[in-house]
Structure formats: C-alpha cells, structure tokens
Amino acid sequence: MARMDVVSKQTAQKIERLAEQVMRAVKGGKNPFVEIPVRSLANVRFDPRKRIVQLGGQRQKRYFFNVAMAKKFMQTFLVSDACKELVESGKTTSIRDLYYITKHTIGETRQNTFEEQDESDPIIEDLEVALDALREELHLFASRKGSMVGPITIRDSGDTIDLRRMGSGGWAVPSIVEENVIEFVRHEARYVLLIEKDAVWTRFNEDKFWKRERCVILQGGGQPPRGVRRLVQRLHAELKLPVYVLVDNDPWGFYIYSVMKQGSINLAYESMRMAVPDARFVGLSSFDKDKFRLPANVAIKMDDGDVSRAKQMLGYPWFKEARWQREIQEMVRSGVKFELEALSRRGISFITEEYLPRKLKEKDWLE
C-alpha cells in the first residue's frame, strides 16, 4: 500500500493548505473564504467530443463573514478536519458515519453543526471538488448497493473471487473499486450488462443468462451508486467490453442510462472516471410494446411529472440524435410507460430467453 500512502499524504496536505489559506486571510483582517467549483446545471456542459458531461470553470466563494454562508463554511472545516483524521489513521468510513462524527451541538444553543445527513453529504461533495480529491482519497464511501456475477475472476482487497460461484445473491459491489482494491484477474466475458433493478437481475442470474451469453451482469438498485458506475467504466476501459444498459421504459430509466453514459450533473467532476460514452441502451424501448406485442393493460399511465421530465430530456444535447428524439417522442405521444417486469406477461423467462437475445441479435439498441 505504498502508493496509497503517497496519495494520503497529498490529500492531507491539500486539506492543510485549505486551512492555512483561511488563517492567513483572517490574520490579514480579511473575510476568509473557500473556493468551490459550482456543481449546478449552470456550470455543467456536455463535451461533444468526449461525449461526457463536464464541470465548467465557474467557482463560488464561500465566505465566513456572510450570514448565508457562515454555517456552511463552518461545516466545510468540520468535514475537512474529520477527513484529515481518517486519511492519517488509514481508516475508511461511510458518509453516514462521517455525519455522526461531525455532528454535535454548538456551544450552549440548541443548534447542531448538522441537522440532517442531507446537510453533510453536499459538503463532502463540495470538499471533493474544492480539494480536487476523490471521495475515495478522502477515505469515504457511500452506502453500498449493487451486485455482480459473471465469468470473471477478480481480486478484492487481496481475496481472489470467482464471480461464477456467487450463488443467488451475487458479489456485492463495494463503494470503492479502484485498482488498489479491485483487480481483474482473468475473464471470458464478451460484454457487460447493467440492469436497473435487483429483481430483474435476479431473474437473469437464476436463468444463468451470464453463463449462456458469456457476459457480466450488474445491478445498481435504481440509480447505480458510484462503485457500480466506476466498476462498469473500468470493465469497459480496461477489458474493452461493450456495455449494455437495460432499464425501465420511463424517463427515470432513460436518465439512469444517461448518467451511465455521460455522467451526472452533481458528480460531473467525476464523469471522466464514471461515464461510458459508448454504453448502449438495449431497452425497454418505447417501440418494444409493439415489437414484442405487450398487452395494453401492462402499461402505466405517465403522470405530469413524467411527461415534463421526458420533454426536458428532448432538450439534452446527448439525446439530440434523431433516433433518441423518436424514442422519447414516442413515449410522450403514447403517454404510457412500462416496467421491465411487464415482459413477464409473455412468460417468466421471456426477458432472458427471447427478449434480450433477440435485441442483441438484431442490434436493436440505441447509443
């Protein structure tokens, strides 16, 4: 772990420099501040060449002597302090844990440093971008979700694991999947399949779809967490495996695909490490209802939120391609959405035995 020590040292130094800069400002009688790249839609742009969402150059200053910012300023340094301690002690903890570490009552008031975890999570993200340090480098991880099986052998923290022998539950994807934690030993996979839902993934695992098709299947329990996204990106980049994404036919499903492909607005600063611009959308397509003769009664009516969300997507630069426009417009036109489970109407293993094989055979996907 020698390399890790170098990174840790750097991270600790970054935090120290941030603190020293503030102390210098105060000594000089100035209003101290932390400069943070803006993580909002306004400061996010789509790089058409790299085909990923990237953070723009906008930065905001978080001053201490400003009523609106003082608390966040204070919180930023509480989190910095806690992270530095983690880094120096070589321990890793969850962001929820960090929330409890930093939470306490201020002075003799009823105010707490943090009232909710919702308050501390964005501060962590702020700190990541402000320090230009990844969450892993701060020794933090998000709550773990997601599982994976397939014809691949990995080494996880020194333990060699054959992902063909993971039983019904699969291998739980950890939050941190960097090279120093996860190594790919060998594999015979042809592609990676990312499935939105745990339940559908279970069907694929039970049917041994991965064995038959020689592929790696993952699920992220809805919007995949960083670990899953980073792992998919590594499988794609390091093992040159094509990535297919199987999600519900609704705006949320499209968005999951979009995040996998281009990166998210909130974590735009990590798009380079997370996004797979070549990821392919295999379904569920708005046109599949006709192609696979799904009965009308398995459709779910879209609500106003769904419709406006879909319309908003029509404007995303990465959905500007004609086939995507047709896809989304068809959804808006029909006013209905479908869950992956709707395919079970045609038979319990219809999705693994007919639907997906046919889609792949016909190259019926969107990019």
Partner 1 sequence: MARPAARQLELVPAEPPGRKPARLEVARPPRAGAPAPAGAGAGGAAAPAAPERAAAAPAPHAPRRRATAEQMAQRQREISISEFFTKNRHLLGFDNPSKALLTTIKEAVDNSLDACEEAGILPEITVEVRDLAWEKSQGNDLTKGEGRFVVVVEDNGPGIVKAQVPKIFGKLLYGSKFHRLKQSRGQQGIGISAAAMYGQLTTGQPIRVVSRTGKARPAHLFEIQIDTRKNDPVVTRDDEQREWHQEHGTRVELEIVANWQQGQKFVNRYVEHTALANPHATVHYLRPKQERLTFPRATDELPKEALEIKPHPHGVELGALMLMAAESRSHDVKGFLGSAFSRVSPAVADEILKAAAFKGRVRPRDLAEDRHLAESLHRAIQATKIMAPPTNCLSPIGDALMKKGLVSFLQVIESEGPEAEEEGQLDLDSAGKKRKSAKERRAEAAAPEVPDAPPEEGVEKIKGHNYFIATVTRPPRVYRGNPFQVEVGLAYGGSWPADKPIELFRFANRVPLLFQRGACGVTEAVVKTDWRNYLLSQPRGSLPVGPMALLVHVASVWVPFTSESKEAVAHYPEIIREIQLAAQECGRKLATHIRKRQHADYQAQRRSIFELYIEEVAQALGKITGKSPAPIKREFLRVAEQVTEAELEEKEAAEKASGNPRRRDEDE
Q: Is 184 helix (H, G, I), strand (E, B) or coil?
A: strand
Residue with tokens 């399949």: 193
Amino acid residing at 316: Y
Q: Whose Cβ is closer to partner 1: residue 75's or residue 205's?
A: 75
The nearest distance, CB 81 to partner 1, in angstroms, is 4
Tell the smallest beta-carbon distance from residue 57 to partner 1 (Å): 12
The span from the CA of 215 to the CA of 191, in Å, is 5
Q: How far is the CB of 212 from partner 1 (least distance, A)?
A: 55
Q: By C-beta, is 33 or 319 nearer to partner 1?
A: 33
The answer to whether residues 340 and 200 touch, using CB atoms and an 8 Å cutoff, is yes
Pick 57 or 167: Cβ nearer partner 1: 57
Q: Which of 252, 200, 250 is nearest to 223 (CA)?
A: 252
Map 117-180 to HEC letters.
HHHHHHHHHHHHHHHCCCCHHHCEECCCCCEEECCEEEEECCEEEECCCCCCCCEECCCCCCCC
Residue 163 preceded by cis peptide, ω within 30: no
List 63, 99, 100, 255, catalytic entry = 100
CB of 33 to partner 1, least distance (A): 7
Nearer to partner 1, 19 or 298 (CB): 19
Task: Count Cβ atoms within 10 A of the Cβ of residue 218 and give its class: 0-12 exposed, 13-18 middle, 19 or more buried.
Answer: buried
Find, among 184, 194, 181, 312, the residue nearest to 239 by Cα: 184
Contact indicator for 224, 143 with CB cutoff of 8 Å:
no
Three-class secondary structure assignment of 244-290: EEECCECHHHHHHHHHHHHCCCCCHHHHHHHCCCCCEEEECCCCHHH
Task: Give contact residues for partner 1 (rule: CB under 8 A).
Answer: 15-16, 18-20, 22-31, 33, 35, 61, 63-67, 70-71, 73-74, 77-78, 80-81, 84-85, 106-107, 109, 111, 113
Residue 100 is a catalytic residue: yes
Nearer of residues 98 and 154 to partner 1, judged by Cβ: 98
- Nearest-approach distance from CB 13 to partner 1, in angstroms: 11
DSSP string, 319-334: G-SHHHHHHHHHHHHH
Tokens 């105010």 correspond to 111
CB of 19 to partner 1, least distance (A): 4
Find where tokens 């742009």 sit: 45
Calpha distance 82→103 (Å, rounded): 11
Residue placing its CB nearer to partner 1 in the complex, 30 or 333: 30
> Which positions are annotated as active-site residues?
100
